[in-house]
Amino acid sequence: MRGKLRLLALVVILATVLYPLAWMVGTSLKSPQEIASNIGLLPKTFTPSNFSMGWHKFDVDFGRFFLNSAMVAVLTVLGNVTSCLLAAYALGRLRFRLRAMWFAVMIGTLLLPGHVLIIPQYILFRTLGWVGGSWPYLPLLVPHFLATEAFFVFLMVQFMRGIPRELDEAAVIDGASPYRVFQHVILPLSRPALVTTAIFSFIWTWNDFFRQLVYLSDLKDYTAPVALTLFIDSTSEASVGPMFAMSLLSLIPVFLFFVAFQRLLVEGINTSGLKG
């Protein structure tokens, strides 16, 4: 009896979690009249044309927005993985003056809400000529190549503290420099933390809206989250279906990315958060 109650509870929780997704799928296939009436979860009349309408709704095909999002997400992943790994290696394995102070300062930046930094960052990037420039993605990408994501630096530092220092000492005895220790010892053993950083960076960047809205002004440069807002205006009641259709398509890359690296993600969380 107890097992049946647990199974029933799990089914109820699963249905509650999946309901928004099911509602989105159903709405993406409804006609404007059914959406306005808001009756039922599933459409009575399937309207697959919502996908075609959403894809060709604007002067630029929605595929361009997907490519922009993919480019920003991939470059952000590359920047975070590279810069945060180097910063974590310095803070977690090397010995230098005031190392503890710099690590504390880095941790302290986690206490600052991201929205507090938007205005000074915007002023800085505008002074540098990056806002509205020939390549408007610089404000979105350059900070990630400078190890500004303190959460990922902290995650990697915690992981590296769990790697035995005897490995470093053995490599140094064999004549390895700090660079070779990093290349041949730390880097190969840090794969779980790197994968965790890559997955979270991709998901957060793909779903990012506010920062991309601030710095992207031309339609051809929009990413998928920003482009979805174009469906909503005072005369776009009939565009709700296409908007949900494109929203559904925008979930697919994140879902596939998560499924492909799910095992490594769980391994990275287990080994990164508990060591040290």
Report the pLDDT value the prediction gives residue 236, as an integer from 0 to 100: 52
Does any domain span residue 55?
Answer: no
My answer on whether 109 and 237 are in the same domain is yes
Does any domain span residue 58?
Answer: no
My answer on whether 119 and 24 are in the same domain is no
- What phi and psi, each to the nearest 5 degrees, are found at residue 222? -65, 150
From CA 221, how far away is CA 69, in angstroms rounded? Answer: 9
Report the pLDDT value the prediction gives residue 37, as an integer from 0 to 100: 80
Report the pLDDT value the prediction gives residue 274, as an integer from 0 to 100: 42
Report the pLDDT value the prediction gives residue 165, as an integer from 0 to 100: 86
My answer on whether 17 and 104 are in the same domain is no
My answer on whether 115 and 252 are in the same domain is yes
My answer on whether 266 and 152 are in the same domain is yes
Decide: residue 26, CB within 10 A, 0-12 exposed, 13-18 middle, 19+ buried: middle
> Which residues form the domain of 3?
1-47
From CA 166, how far away is CA 264, in angstroms rounded? Answer: 26
From CA 103, how far away is CA 203, in angstroms rounded? Answer: 26
**CA angle, 28 then 30 then 31, to 5°:** 125
- What phi and psi, each to the nearest 5 degrees, are found at residue 235? -125, 20
CA distances from residue 198 to 114, 190, 192, 261, 264 in whole angstroms, order as listed:
20, 12, 10, 10, 11
Helix-strand-coil percent breakdown of the chain, rounded to 5?
75, 0, 25
* Residue 241, number of CB atoms within 10 A of its CB: 25
Report the pLDDT value the prediction gives residue 268, as an integer from 0 to 100: 58
Does any domain span residue 125?
Answer: yes
Question: For position 251, which CATH number holds?
Answer: 1.10.3720.10
From CA 53, how far away is CA 245, in angstroms rounded? Answer: 9
Report the pLDDT value the prediction gives residue 174, as an integer from 0 to 100: 84
My answer on whether 29 and 162 are in the same domain is no
Structure tokens at 67: 């490519």
DSSP 8-state assignment for residue 184: I
Structure tokens at 78: 């590359």
My answer on whether 105 and 166 are in the same domain is yes
Report the pLDDT value the prediction gives residue 38, as an integer from 0 to 100: 74
From CA 276, how far away is CA 272, in angstroms rounded? Answer: 9
Half-sphere exposure of 200 (CA within 13 A, CB side): 17
Q: Are 271 and 192 in contact (CB under 8 A)?
A: yes
Report the pLDDT value the prediction gives residue 271, as an integer from 0 to 100: 54
My answer on whether 143 and 217 are in the same domain is yes
Does any domain span residue 52?
Answer: no
Q: What is the mean pLDDT of each run of 10 residues along the chain (276 residues)?
A: 84 89 88 79 85 89 94 96 94 88 90 86 93 90 92 91 87 87 89 88 92 92 92 67 91 85 66 46
For the segment 10-67, what is each residue's pLDDT rounded down to a tens digit? 999 988 988 888 888 988 888 888 887 877 788 888 888 899 999 988 888 999 999 9
Report the pLDDT value the prediction gives residue 237, as an integer from 0 to 100: 54
Q: Are 107 and 153 in contact (CB under 8 A)?
A: no
**Could you tell me which of 108, 118, 137, 162 has the C-alpha nearest to residue 270?**
162
Does any domain span residue 53?
Answer: no
Structural domain count, the chain:
2
Structure tokens at 45: 């009349």
Report the pLDDT value the prediction gives residue 141, as an integer from 0 to 100: 95
My answer on whether 67 and 43 are in the same domain is no
